[in-house]
Chains A and B, each alone.
Chain A
Amino acid sequence: MLLYVDLDMDQISEGYVILMTGLFIVFSALFSLFLFFRFGMSYLLYIYKIITKGRDRKIEDIAVDADEDFTGEIAAAIATAIHMYLNEQHDKENPILTIKQAKKQYSPWSSKIYGTHNRL
């Protein structure tokens, strides 16, 4: 749609064109993202700070410097613990189904005779 460079160009060479340009564009796309987050983010956060100054802050932001101690290793340890805990939670049931007669003591809750003999 965009780029039919030459219609009589054979497929393979057009393939090479697409290969080169495609790779270049993919790289440039992610590279621009990289540049932005490497260098542009701090400015953006600064602007954000100015804009939201004094307003209500319901979404608490995690202060970067306050969390120095919380490393990925701690997170991994916690995650492992949770994972191991959750893996314990099998609900294994006995696959053998039997109908057991429930042995019940005589319950006279609606017995007329019982009611007449033992007045409450």
Chain B
Amino acid sequence: MRKLLIIFGVMSFLIFIRPVLGLNSNTNTDNTEITLSAEQVAPEHRGEGVLEGAFNGIKQFYSYTGFANATSGHIIMIIIGLIFIYLGIKFDYEPLLLIPIGTGVMLGNIPFVAGNMTGIYETGSVFNYLYFGVVKGIYPPLIFLGIGAMTDFSSLIANPKLMLLGAAAQIGVFGTFLGALYLGFNLPEAGAIGIIGGADGPTAIFLSSKLANGINILPDGTTVKNLIGPIAIAAYSYMALVPVIQPPIMRLLVSKEDRKIRMKPPRAVSQKEKMLFPIIGLLLTTFISPSALPLLGMLFFGNLLKESGRTERLAETARTKLIDIVTILLGVTVGASTQADIFLNKDSLLIFGLGAISFVIATMGGLFFAKFMNLFLKGDDRINPLIGAAGVSAVPDSARVVHTEALKSDPHNYLLMHAMAPNVSGVIGSAVAAGIILSFLA
């Protein structure tokens, strides 16, 4: 048995090295006789040719690898992806988003030769199909369904006046919109950039996929730029950075005494009220802003599933499995859409700058409006102006930031429940704002 194996091994070795030894005349069936004779004359040369062929093959393979095609842009983007992953793991900044997006950024920036259906922008590639959900705005409403099914609106129902704070923070959306116009973006692009101030990733993707998708044609005949990638990345990264951006503004604008204001605990809300909220909210907001129907419709539908008490199974799926699946797909594809040749340009830098400003404006808008409301409120009804900052959606991070900021000035002032009210109304507000911008500019 062993002998048999040895013989077999030697034979296969011989077959393997036969070309090198120049014994390959019978393998090339299509060779002409002339070449055959040439080989017989100079078998060594043939051997060299084979080596050269192999070398050429390797060379060609090398030309297909990432090493050969890498540009500085790819490297920069891969480093950015790594930073995202690092931020997500090390500092726990929205890891559920940053890690898929960071991985997506790396996936999208592996250098490849175009034409092999690899890249996210090549029709027919797998990533392109997954990206379809982003381009057509399919993923955001599904995410909103899950958000609706996990959001408890009771603090908002208990204290409806806090809803106005969610509207006040939308000044960030429109302020940024104007800023983008001044920087030379055209109307639809500016609208899509402005929504970064809504601090709501799905809404930002939804609106940019409708307005700045690189397909729409403007009245003057030019095509809008494809800004989905930069806008989504800016929105998500600033949402992750809310704990860094907001506290200094809060400290700057709200005096020490105001930060200590204690709000009376919200009243208990009955199940009926909770059930009625999504229905009324749906009807009222979508009648006012029908373009926001995909977002608001799904948001309130999800909430009705949660509160109806009869559809716990559906609500459970929507807020766990479904939203997880969509988040994975959304994160990776949005990350991968940042292909260096499309992403690394002046526009993206401007968008990042505008995004930061929009968060600042939105936070300030919320804080100022809360102070303004306090002018009309007396005694127990006064609100702690800090919760105005939670009006920039970014659920639930900004509410958490408000909570920790309040604890710093008064260790027994728990604002989380109160801050959730403007926080969720911020989601409604930014969806309404998206609907308005869409109806003006689409």
Contacts and interface: CB of A to CB of B under 8 A. Distances in A.
B270 A30 contact: no
A50 B266 CA distance: 27
Contacts of A1: 439-442
A11 B266 contact: no
A40 B273 CA distance: 11
Interface in B134-173: 156-157, 160-161, 163-164, 166-168, 170-171, 173
Interface in A10-51: 11-12, 14-16, 18-19, 21-23, 25-34, 36-38, 40-41, 44-45, 48
Decide if the interface of chain A is mainly helix, strand, loop or mixed.
Answer: helix
Interface residues of B, number: 56
Nearest to A76: B414
A36 B170 contact: no
Interface in B154-200: 156-157, 160-161, 163-164, 166-168, 170-171, 173-175, 177-178, 181-182, 186-187, 190-191
A75 B420 CA distance: 14
Name which of A2, A18, A22, A48 has the most chain B CB atoms within 10 A of its CB.
A22
B268 to A, nearest CB: 4
Interface stretch (B66-74, B100-108, B284-292, B338-346): B284-292
Interface residues of A, number: 47
Contact of B281 (A22, A33, A60, A70): A33
Interface in B183-227: 186-187, 190-191, 219
A75 B269 CA distance: 13
Contact of B267 (A3, A45, A64): A64
Contact of A27 (B167, B265, B441): B167
B2 interface: no
Interface stretch (B49-57, B237-245, B430-438): B430-438
Interface in B406-436: 414, 416-417, 425, 428-429, 432-433, 436
Contacts of A63: 270
Interface of B is mostly: helix
Contacts of A34: 160-161, 163-164
Nearest to B165: A30
A33 B285 contact: yes
B186 A16 contact: no
B433 A72 contact: no
B268 A67 contact: yes
B413 to A, nearest CB: 11
A7 interface: yes
Contact of A12 (B181, B276, B416): B181
Given A12-B181, A22-B174, A23-B174, A41 B432 contact: no
A86 interface: no
A115 B343 CA distance: 79
Contacts of B177: 15, 18-19, 22
Contact of B187 (A14, A44, A64, A67): A14
Interface of A: 1-3, 7, 11-12, 14-16, 18-19, 21-23, 25-34, 36-38, 40-41, 44-45, 48, 58-64, 67-68, 70-73, 75-76
Query: Would you list the 4 A-B pairs with minimal beta carbon distance, nearest first?
Result: A72-B265, A37-B160, A67-B268, A71-B265
Interface of B: 156-157, 160-161, 163-164, 166-168, 170-171, 173-175, 177-178, 181-182, 186-187, 190-191, 219, 265-273, 276-277, 280-281, 284-285, 288-289, 309-310, 414, 416-417, 425, 428-429, 432-433, 436-437, 439-442
